[in-house]
A and B are shown apart, each in its own frame.
Chain A
Amino acid sequence: MIFSRAINRDLSRLEGKGGFRLDRLMIILCYVALITVTILPVFMIFYYAFWDGTKIDIATFKLVIFQKSNIRCMWNTLVIGVCSTALATVVGVFFAWLLGRSDIPMKGLMKFLFSIPFMIPPFLAAMSWDMMFSGRGGYVNKALMSLFNLTKSPFNINSVAGIIVIEVVYYFPFVYMQVVSALERMDPTLEESARIAGASQSYVIRKITLPLTVPAISSGMLLVLITSLSNYGIPAMLGYSQNIFTLPTMITALMDRAGGSFEGVRQSAALSIVLVFIVSIALLVQRRLMTRGRYDIIKGKSMRPMLIKLRGAKYPLLAFSLVFLSLIVVAPIVMIILVSFVKAYGLPFLAENLTLANYRRIFVGNIMVRDSVKNSLFLAFSAASICLLLGTMLAYVIYKIKPKGGIALEMMAVLPYSLPGTVMAIGCILAWSGAFFGITLYNTIWIILVAYIARYLSYVLKSSSAALQQVHVSLEEAARSCGASHTQTLKDVTLPLIKPAMISGFFLVFLPCMRELTTSILLYGPKSRTLGVAIYQLRINGQIAPAAALSVVTITLIIICNNIVKAITRDKKRG
Chain B
Amino acid sequence: MHPARIVLRGCRVEKVELKNICISYGEHAVLKDFSLKIEPGQIMGIVGPSGCGKTTIARAICGFIKPQQGTVKIDGKTMFSHEDRVDIPPEQRHIGVVFQDYAVWPHLSVYDNIAYPLKKRRLSKEEISPQVQNALEQVNMVGYEKYMPSQLSGGQQQRVAIARALTSSSDFLIMDEPITNLDAKLREQMLVEIRMLQQRLGTTIIYITHDQEAALQLCDKIVILELDGSIAQIGSDEEIIRNPANRFVFQFIGVSNFIPVVVEDGKVFFDLEKKILFKSLIHEKMPGPKAMLGIRPMDIVFDDDSPVRATVAQSVFLGNMYNYFVRLPGMEIRVQQMVISENAKSYSEEQEVGLAFLEERYFEREDA
Chain A contact residues, CB within 8 Å of chain B: 1-3, 5-8, 11-15, 18, 472, 474-475, 477-486, 488, 492-493, 496-497, 575
Known: A11-B78, A12-B86, A13-B87. A481 touches B66 (CB 8 A): no
A405 to B77, alpha carbons, bound, how many Å?
37
A1-B201, A7-B92 known, 20 other contacts, Cβ within 8 Å? A1-B131, A5-B75, A8-B89, A8-B92, A11-B78, A12-B84, A12-B86, A13-B87, A15-B87, A18-B87, A472-B101, A474-B103, A475-B103, A477-B90, A479-B116, A481-B62, A481-B97, A483-B120, A484-B91, A485-B91
**Which 5 A-B pairs rank lowest in CB-CB distance, beginning with the nearest?**
A483-B120, A482-B117, A474-B103, A480-B90, A478-B103
Nearest-neighbour CB distance to chain B for A531, whole angstroms, equals 37
Cross-chain contact B171 with A2 (CB below 8 angstroms): yes
Collect the chain B residues with CB atoms within 8 Å of residue A477's CB: 59, 62, 64, 90, 97, 99, 103
User: Total contacts A to B, CB within 8 angstroms?
Assistant: 106
Residues of A with C-beta under 8 A to B99: 474, 477-478
Contacts of B75 on A, CB cut-off 8 Å?
5
Q: Is B107 an interface residue (CB 8 A)?
A: yes
Determine if B94 and A478 form an interchain contact, defined as CB atoms under 8 angstroms apart.
Answer: no
Do B105 and A6 have beta carbons less than 8 Å apart?
no
Q: What is the CA–CA distance of A477 and B99 in the complex, to the nearest angstrom?
A: 9
Q: Which residues of A contact B97 (CB under 8 A)?
A: 477-478, 481
Once A1-B131, A475-B105 are accepted as A-B contacts, the answer to whether A483 and B168 lie under 8 Å apart by CB is yes
**Contact flag A482-B164 (CB < 8 Å), given A3-B169, A7-B92, A472-B101:** yes
Question: Which B residues touch A1, using CB under 8 A?
Answer: 131, 134, 166, 170, 201
Offer 20 A-B interface pairs, CB within 8 angstroms, sorted by A: A1-B134, A1-B170, A2-B170, A5-B92, A5-B94, A7-B77, A7-B88, A11-B78, A11-B86, A13-B85, A474-B99, A474-B100, A475-B105, A477-B97, A478-B105, A480-B62, A481-B93, A481-B168, A482-B117, A483-B117
- Are the C-beta atoms of A6 and B92 separated by less than 8 Å? yes
Q: Given the interface contacts A11-B4, A472-B103, does A488 sit within 8 Å of B88 by beta carbon?
A: no
Interface residues of B in 114-138 (CB under 8 A from A): 116-117, 120-121, 131, 134
Contact B85 A12 (CB under 8 A): yes
Q: Which residues of A contact B53 (CB under 8 A)?
A: none
Nearest residue, chain A, Cβ from B75: A5
| Option from A15, A482, A496, A497 in Cβ contact (under 8 Å) with B85 | A15
Q: Determine whether B242 belongs to the interface, using a CB cutoff of 8 Å to chain A.
A: no
CA distance A482 to B112 in the complex (A): 12
With A5-B94, A11-B78, A493-B105 as contacts: A480 and B89 at CB distance below 8 Å: yes
Report if B146 contacts A (CB, 8 A): no
Complex Cα distance A571/B100, Å? 28
The answer to whether A497 and B106 have CB atoms under 8 Å apart is: yes
Q: Which B residues are in CB contact (< 8 Å) with A11?
A: 2, 4, 78, 86, 88
Report B257 CB to chain A, min CB distance, Å: 39
Minimum C-beta distance from A16 to chain B (A): 9
Considering only CB atoms, which chain B residue lies closest to A19 in the complex?
Answer: B66
Tell me, in angstroms, the Cα distance from A11 to B84 when the chains sit together.
Answer: 10
Measured in the bound complex, the distance between the Cα atoms of B91 and A477 in whole Å is 9
Find the B residue at minimum CB distance from A14: B85
Once A3-B121, A15-B87 are accepted as A-B contacts, the answer to whether A482 and B106 lie under 8 Å apart by CB is: no
Q: Are B96 and A481 touching (Cβ within 8 A)?
A: yes
Minimum CB–CB distance for B347 against chain A, Å: 43
Q: Is the CB of A482 within 8 A of B168?
A: yes
Expressed in whole angstroms, the minimum distance between the Cβ of B106 and any Cβ of chain A is 7
Report yes or no: A497 in contact with B88, Cβ–Cβ below 8 A: no
A497 CB to closest chain B CB (Å) equals 6
B116 touches A492 (CB 8 A): yes
- Tell me the nearest residue of chain A to B174, going by C-beta: A481
- Closest partner residue, chain B, to A1 (CB atom): B170
| Mask of B198-210 contacts with A, CB within 8 angstroms, 1/0 | 0001000000000
Give CA–CA (A547, B80) in the complex, Å.
69
Alpha-carbon distance between A497 and B106 when the two chains are bound, in angstroms:
8
Give the Cβ gap from B41 to chain A, nearest Cβ, in Å: 12
Contact string, B149-167, partner A, CB cutoff 8 A, digits 1/0?
A: 0100000000001001110
Q: List which B47-70 residues lie within 8 A (CB) of chain A.
A: 59, 62-64, 66
Q: A1-B131, A7-B92, A480-B90 are in contact. Are A474 and B101 (CB under 8 A)?
A: yes
From known contacts A11-B2, A13-B87, A472-B101, infer whether A478 and B164 are also in contact, taking CB-CB under 8 Å: yes
